[in-house]
Amino acid sequence: MRDHWQLYFADAPDCLTDPKRPQTILHVLDIEIGGGEFVTMAGPCSVETERQLLITAERVCQAGAQILRGGAFKPRSSPYSFQGLGVEGLRMLARTREATGMAIVTEVISESDVPLVAAYADILQIGCRNMENYALLEAAAHSGRPILLKRGMMATIGDLLRSAQCILSHGNPNVMLCERGIRSFETVTRNTLDAGAIVLLKQVCHLPILVDPSHASGRRELVSEFARVGIAAGADGMIVEVHPKPEQAWSDGEQSLTLEQFDAMMTELEPWISLARRRSSVRSALLEVGR
């Protein structure tokens, strides 16, 4: 199957579309990403206060999330929007990890900040605006931390694979891709979720694929349904925004789930996640037979 699709990705890196390459499994603390278990990352868009972060972390962990997301540095489109707490936000994330045992994923937006963020985070997130910031990709690769690479708003699948290859070529094989919606003519949702990209990437690429239903939809009432689409498409995990009081959030409150909504979503998605586990087991067995 990958051989067939290489006709359409003639300039894609061979090491990403090699049909003999086994599925990449990332290890973060005691968590496997890409190994058949569906992994949930959840937390606030921005780290605001110690209490906000700890309340959210404890609740999402109890509901089944394994990794806490939270932004300390925020590359906002408007200079008047909240830009993050910076180093203090990183310190809050580290203290919350110590209190809950959850791994931490947070965004890094500048190559000069990579050593600092890597000292606190378990996973470095490269946001959509920086997907083709090659100096940042190289610096992040050299940190040795696993990288969560989000697809750019106007990026093709080939563009995403080339950015992933930039990280791999600098000696870091621990990369996961994230479909977070692309920009189209549609304005009802924040972005357009490209579920087909998840399906295709699972066939042509060995890296784990995540879905971000929060940024794809931009509306909290759609997040659960978008997450279900991502699971059905074959995603290995999801990253979701959750806040104790979204109406008071310092950023992205309109797409952040309440604690109660996150609980309900995880319950609703369990049958789909269980089905995804069985499907992953069957796929792995078929790939082994085909090698």
What percent of the chain lies above the pLDDT cut of 70?
A: 87
Confidence of residue 80 (pLDDT cuts 50, 70, 90): low
Amino acid 47: pLDDT: 96
| Radius of gyration of the chain, Cα coordinates, nearest whole angstrom | 18
For residue 126, list its beta bridge partners.
149
Asked if 163 contacts 149 with a C-beta cutoff of 8 angstroms, the reply is yes
Amino acid 11: pLDDT: 57
Amino acid 103: pLDDT: 98
Q: Quick: pLDDT tens for 102-148.
A: 999 999 999 999 999 999 999 999 999 999 999 999 999 999 999 99
Confidence of residue 229 (pLDDT cuts 50, 70, 90): very high
CA 179 to CA 215: how far, in whole Å? 10
Classify burial at 64, counting beta carbons within 10 Å of its beta carbon; exposed 0-12, middle 13-18, buried 19 or more: middle
Contacts of 164 (CB under 8 A, 6+ apart): 13, 16, 149, 175, 177, 205, 207
Q: What is the mean pLDDT of residues 139-163?
A: 97
Amino acid 267: pLDDT: 97
Amino acid 231: pLDDT: 97
Confidence of residue 177 (pLDDT cuts 50, 70, 90): very high
Q: What is the mean pLDDT of residues 37-47?
A: 97
Q: Quick: pLDDT tens for 183-198.
A: 999 999 999 999 999 9
Into which CATH architecture does domain 2-290 fall?
Alpha-Beta Barrel (3.20)
Q: Quick: pLDDT tens for 5-30.
A: 554 555 555 567 666 678 999 999 99
pTM of the model: 0.91
CA 176 to CA 33: how far, in whole Å? 8
Q: What is the mean pLDDT of residues 266-291?
A: 77
CA 277 to CA 133: how far, in whole Å? 34
> What is the DSSP track for 225-257?
HHHHHHHHHT-SEEEEEB-SSGGG-SS-GGGPB
Average per-residue pLDDT in the chain? 91
Confidence of residue 253 (pLDDT cuts 50, 70, 90): very high
User: 192, 157, 180, 189: which is closest to 240 by C-alpha?
Assistant: 180
**Other Cβ atoms within 10 Å of 45 Cβ, number:** 24
CA 114 to CA 90: how far, in whole Å? 12
Amino acid 9: pLDDT: 55
User: 201, 193, 154, 194: which is closest to 177 by C-alpha?
Assistant: 201
Asked if 38 contacts 273 with a C-beta cutoff of 8 angstroms, the reply is yes
CA 203 to CA 209: how far, in whole Å? 11
Q: For residue 27, report the phi and psi dihedrals to the nearest 5 degrees.
A: -115, 120
Top-confidence residue, 203 or 90: 90
Domain locations along the chain: 2-290
CA 91 to CA 117: how far, in whole Å? 10
Contacts of 229 (CB under 8 A, 6+ apart): 193, 195, 211, 213
Q: What is the mean pLDDT of residues 39-60?
A: 97
